[in-house]
Amino acid sequence: MRSQRFISRGWSPLTSSRKRGIGNPMWWGPQHGPTSPEREKEGIDSETGMAEEGQRGGYSRLAGDEEVATASGGGGGGGGGDYDERKLRLLGYEPQLKRNLSLLSNFAVSFSIVSVLTGITTLFGTGLQFGGPATMVYGWPIAGAMTLVVGLAMAEICSAYPTSGGLYFWSARLCSHRRWGPFASWLTGWFNIVGQWAVTTSVDFSLAQLIQVIILLSTGGNNGGGYMASKYVVIAFHAAILLSHAAINSLPITWLSFFGQFAAAWNMLGVFVLMIAVPTVATERASAKFVFTHFNTENNAGIHSNFYIFVLGLLMSQYTLTGYDASAHMTEETKNADRNGPIGIISAIGISIIVGWGYILGITFAVKDIPYLLSPDNDAGGYAIAEVFYLAFKSRYGSGIGGIICLGIVAVAIYFCGMSSVTSNSRMAYAFSRDGAMPLSSVWHKVNKHEVPINAVWLSALISLCMALPSLGSLVAFQAMVSIATIGLYVAYALPILFRVTLARKHFVPGPFNLGRCGVAVGWAAVLWVATITVLFSLPVSYPVTKDTLNYTPVAVGGLFLLVLSSWLLSARHWFKGPITNLDG
């Protein structure tokens, strides 16, 4: 019979519960058993249950440090499956998912979700409108460097707590306060999972729209009587894409590992093919001066401040560089999780920065007339990068079929991005429901015979479909909803980092991957960057502001916060005490 005890920092499955005095349910934070001279002698703070500064402690010390060190070959991690499973048990969870992912597979999931082909392609028009080449060429490395800072801070925490819950579990562990720990976990978890659903919605809806453009160009283009699919057809495309993603994610993890690695390779090769082929084929190419210095101020949005324009242009970069928390959510299925999970996060960001910048440079050399590329009267109906591809091949060969094939390469990359997004969503839903935080939790955390959380997979697909339905009534409403994809996720990223550099600054015990003395400084830089982009991306994107031009991001994010807060005050505070163990008692 499985017990449902709340995880305590001081609890270990290797230690008698009667000896530790935790036979009854309790909050798993600071107070977890009687004070004892032995605990004080070991350097354990009787008030927090954590090691004092300079002492080894935290969950490892109190949960059997000697066993962990033995399993990991001296405490360095990398001890294989037995070590991974023991460490997961020390964190309070019985292994239920099949641990079959390598470092490459873990990296591939995050890399294919970041997917520079997806983000840059779908928002290339935004980059052109707000600043143009200069904003994209210089904004990308700026956003990339700060994203890497956020990723480093997350990776350090991931190494200490490699569980599928990821961010919300980290917040609960790091917020060492018996009242606010569960709330921190609740807030982080809901921002994380809703942000992930919004990412999946926006990615798959972007693919549906790209299919619409491909059909339009294949049938003659906007100026040649081409077929423009209606919004109902686009939703049908979106539903079919989600259905296929759910079906693929119902397969055993070995299949997902294969698809993930293939997706990463496709993204990498696709970038190199497009960044070379498109500017090479184009009969007219932009000069290096245009690519590196031209700053477009003709945005038709009533915005004239160069700094303001540059900031809005950063959205393309920051939207693309998100979703890398997937490596953390896949750690319960990853070998040597406390090393490979963090490396998966960092490598996905780092490689994306490099190949993404190359993609931006290559495509921008094929850009000539920015106003025409953004015009809804062009052949692609205003889809800027599709028009770039189409014109490049048409100018040389008299036909844009080559450009359509290039769009097909992008479409495949976006498809795999959505597939990996559902993978990450489902693991988050599995973990969150395992801890009793979701309605019908007992349903969503069940796994099938292949050790796949299949109910969570289909839940993620269904919710992502529902989030796209507002597009039938108003694109403004839809854009407001999916705006949570960037800011909502980054808020979830920042919360555990904030707790790590404040409440847990003295008692945080890093895993094999750690930043040493730089950890706190990196953490603060990450928190400040997230705070900055949260404000900047909430600013109006057009003047005068009307109901159709209003930036609904603060409304959507604020609305989500109010819903999460209300649910906590009215209900969850009475029963949600943070992550709970599923170990046999």
What is the tens place of the pLDDT at every residue in 26-75? 233 333 333 333 333 333 333 333 333 333 333 333 343 334 333 444 34
In contact, 413 and 267? CB cutoff 8 Å: yes
**Quick check: is 517 in a domain?**
yes
**Quick check: is 325 in a domain?**
yes
The larger pLDDT score, comparing residue 467 to residue 16, is at 467
Looking at the structure, tell me whether residues 209 and 60 fall in a common domain: no
End-to-end CA distance of the chain: 8
Helical spans, DSSP H, in 282-381: 288-293, 306-320, 326-329, 337-364, 370-374
Report residue 270 as tokens.
């696709």
**Quick check: is 92 in a domain?**
no
What does the pLDDT read at residue 212? 96
Quick one: which of 357, 354, 369, 360 has its CA closest to 286? 369
**Quick check: is 97 in a domain?**
no
92: pLDDT confidence band, cut at 50, 70 and 90? confident
| CA–CA dist 489, 501 (Å, integer) | 19
Distances 243 to 212, 240, 418, 443, 572 between C-alpha atoms, Å: 18, 5, 11, 20, 32
Express as a percent the part of the chain with pLDDT over 90. Answer: 57
CB atoms within 10 A of CB 283: 11
CB atoms within 10 A of CB 373: 22
The larger pLDDT score, comparing residue 284 to residue 47, is at 284
Q: Where residue 142 sits, what CATH number does that domain have?
A: 1.20.1740.10
Tokens 């349910």 correspond to what residue? 25
What does the pLDDT read at residue 3? 37
Pick the range with the lowest mean pLDDT from 175-179, 203-207, 393-397, 439-443: 175-179
Instruction: Please give the helix or strand (H or E) that residue 263 lies within, else none.
Output: helix 253-281
Q: In which domain, by residue range, is 1 found?
A: 1-66
CB atoms within 10 A of CB 192: 27
**Quick check: is 381 in a domain?**
yes
| CA–CA dist 337, 13 (Å, integer) | 20
Report residue 355 as tokens.
């190949």
274: pLDDT confidence band, cut at 50, 70 and 90? very high
The residue out of 18, 45, 66 marking a domain boundary is 66
Looking at the structure, tell me whether residues 111 and 29 fall in a common domain: no
pLDDT mean across residues, the chain: 83
The residue out of 40, 66, 92 marking a domain boundary is 66
331: pLDDT confidence band, cut at 50, 70 and 90? very high
| pLDDT tens per residue across span 241-264 | 999 999 999 998 889 889 989 999
5: pLDDT confidence band, cut at 50, 70 and 90? very low
178: pLDDT confidence band, cut at 50, 70 and 90? low
Q: What is the amino acid identity at position 157?
A: I
Report residue 4 as tokens.
């449902």
What does the pLDDT read at residue 38? 36
Tell me: cis bond preceding 544? Omega within 30 of 0 counts: yes
**Quick check: is 584 in a domain?**
no
The residue out of 66, 85, 116 marking a domain boundary is 66
Q: Average pLDDT, stretch 111-117?
A: 92
Quick one: which of 41, 70, 105, 95 has its CA closest to 327? 105
| CA–CA dist 87, 92 (Å, integer) | 9
What does the pLDDT read at residue 585? 52
Looking at the structure, tell me whether residues 424 and 563 fall in a common domain: yes
Looking at the structure, tell me whether residues 61 and 195 fall in a common domain: no
Looking at the structure, tell me whether residues 60 and 161 fall in a common domain: no
Looking at the structure, tell me whether residues 50 and 109 fall in a common domain: no
Model confidence at 107: pLDDT above 90: yes
3-state secondary structure of 51: strand
Looking at the structure, tell me whether residues 464 and 339 fall in a common domain: yes
**Quick check: is 236 in a domain?**
yes
Looking at the structure, tell me whether residues 322 and 461 fall in a common domain: yes
Looking at the structure, tell me whether residues 38 and 139 fall in a common domain: no
Looking at the structure, tell me whether residues 43 and 158 fall in a common domain: no
Q: Average pLDDT, stretch 14-32?
A: 31
Looking at the structure, tell me whether residues 318 and 451 fall in a common domain: yes
Name the domain count of the chain: 2
pTM given for the model: 0.83
What does the pLDDT read at residue 233? 96
Looking at the structure, tell me whether residues 251 and 359 fall in a common domain: yes
3-state secondary structure of 580: strand
**Quick check: is 6 in a domain?**
yes
